[in-house]
């Protein structure tokens, strides 16, 4: 195996594939990237067994020669080392030459690295075939889907299923739901009515896919029994599905709204941010006191003192109401909506409430209040 490759393309490919390689791998050989130079181009594969990323660098991109002076072949090489080398070499081209299957010589005019490498047979067989139902989304839609839901997934491993985004395709709608049991985020997209699937994929992996797909126009999702396969540009990502059932959240979104507050998103974010200065004692708890006459955001600490912020620009419908919540949940919900105004809609003091954008019914955020006594 031998090739001379454009440094920038090589680095980009290495960085993409190495996103799947963790710092600690249960399977030691997975700390390597697999490089396969075939008729088509250079395939670079990285995996942590749950997530596998394979990207391809073609011989030519438009009129540009990317790979030249080559001999086909495969090798395994440390993800960390080869990516660092490609980053630090500052020539436009890098020469890569495997000697005796065990040493890769990576060089330009002034630097030479001799790196121990491993025979390609040592790498596990990774399934990257597209099976099952498939769906094509615009990358913009996919990015929004993840951005508006992923943050609400749990980051704790006690109930692994709650670390997932639950994707359900049925009857022309793709629904993404994430919940850590104290809050929930849901987003829907209109899709081809013939596509049906259910998949639970960790929010972390979904964010990784969204990040890698940035800059491409469409993304194809193929869901089979054990994995979801995402294809975009010259990259394929396979994500292992989480086993187990996602909690039934169909009826969790409150319907009988008795109180509603419409405010400017930035005003509300700043007010919560300031008032929460003193929420140190009871972690992140902020209170919202609303009536037609005024809206106040406040927090208290017996040791330090109190803070309160008045909102001057609001529309409130309903009787007077006071409610307390984890400020991070409400801030994240408002930010995820990304709209200039938001509506907070309440059923009662201790019932989950809705944070929504009145102009967009495809996305809804639900937050459970906290007791302050």
Residue ranges in contact with its own copies by CB under 8 A = 78, 81, 84-85, 88-90, 103, 110-116, 270-271, 273-275, 277-278, 303-312
- Closest separation in Å from C-beta 181 to its own copies: 31
Nearer to its own copies, 64 or 304 (CB): 304
Nearer to its own copies, 35 or 85 (CB): 85
Contact 142, 149 (CB under 8 A): no
- Cα angle 358, 362, 364 (rounded to 5 degrees) comes to 70
Integer Cα distance of 180 and 203 in angstroms: 11
**Tokens standing for residue 342:** 């938001």
- Closest separation in Å from C-beta 22 to its own copies: 18
- Closest separation in Å from C-beta 101 to its own copies: 14
Helices (H), 202-243: 203-213
- H or E element: which one contains 335? helix 327-337
Give Dmax (Cα) for the chain.
Answer: 81
Token pair 């639900």 is at which residue? 366
Q: Give the chain's end-to-end CA distance (angstroms, integer).
A: 69
Nearer to its own copies, 88 or 211 (CB): 88
Nearer to its own copies, 60 or 88 (CB): 88
**Tokens standing for residue 242:** 């989480």
Q: How far is CA 66 from CA 10, 12, 92, 149, in A?
A: 9, 12, 10, 38
- Closest separation in Å from C-beta 170 to its own copies: 46
Integer Cα distance of 139 and 290 in angstroms: 40
Bridge partner list, 230: 221, 237
Helices (H), 215-280: 265-275
- Closest separation in Å from C-beta 277 to its own copies: 5
Nearer to its own copies, 86 or 333 (CB): 86
Contact 143, 293 (CB under 8 A): no
- Closest separation in Å from C-beta 113 to its own copies: 5
Nearer to its own copies, 204 or 270 (CB): 270
- Closest separation in Å from C-beta 284 to its own copies: 15
Nearer to its own copies, 179 or 299 (CB): 299
């Amino acid at each position: 195996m031998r090739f001379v490759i454009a440094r920038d393309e090589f680095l980009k490919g290495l960085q993409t594939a190495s996103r799947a390689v963790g710092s600690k791998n249960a399977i030691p050989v997975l700390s390597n990237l697999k490089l396969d130079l075939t008729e088509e181009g250079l395939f670079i594969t990285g995996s942590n067994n749950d997530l596998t990323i394979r990207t391809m660098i073609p011989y030519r991109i438009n009129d540009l020669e990317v790979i030249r002076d080559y001999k086909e072949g495969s090798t395994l090489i440390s993800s960390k080392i080869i990516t660092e080398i490609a980053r630090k070499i500052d020539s436009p081209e890098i020469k890569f030459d495997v000697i005796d299957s065990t040493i890769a010589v990576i060089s330009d005019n002034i630097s030479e690295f001799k790196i121990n490498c491993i025979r390609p047979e040592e790498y596990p067989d990774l399934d990257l075939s597209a099976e099952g139902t498939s769906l094509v989304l615009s990358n913009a839609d996919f990015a929004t889907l993840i951005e508006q839901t992923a943050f609400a997934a749990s980051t704790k491993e006690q109930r692994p299923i709650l670390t997932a985004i639950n994707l359900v395709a049925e009857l022309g709608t793709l629904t993404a739901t994430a919940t850590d049991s104290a809050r929930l985020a849901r987003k829907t997209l209109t899709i081809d009515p013939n596509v049906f699937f259910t998949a639970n994929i960790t929010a972390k992996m979904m964010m990784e896919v969204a990040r890698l797909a940035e800059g491409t126009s469409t993304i194809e999702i193929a869901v089979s029994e054990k994995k979801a396969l995402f294809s975009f540009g010259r990259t394929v990502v396979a994500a292992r599905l989480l086993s187990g059932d996602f909690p039934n959240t169909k009826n969790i979104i409150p319907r009988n709204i008795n109180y509603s507050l419409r405010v400017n998103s930035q005003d509300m974010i700043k007010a919560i941010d300031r008032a929460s200065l003193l929420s140190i004692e009871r972690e992140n708890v902020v209170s919202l006191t609303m009536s037609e006459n005024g809206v106040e955001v406040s927090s208290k600490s017996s040791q330090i003192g109190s803070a309160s912020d008045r909102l001057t620009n609001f529309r409130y419908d309903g009787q007077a109401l006071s409610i307390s919540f984890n400020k991070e949940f409400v801030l994240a919900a408002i930010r995820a909506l990304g709209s200039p105004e938001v509506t907070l809609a309440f059923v009662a003091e201790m019932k989950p409430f809705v944070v929504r954008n009145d102009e967009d019914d495809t996305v809804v955020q639900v937050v459970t209040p906290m007791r302050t006594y």
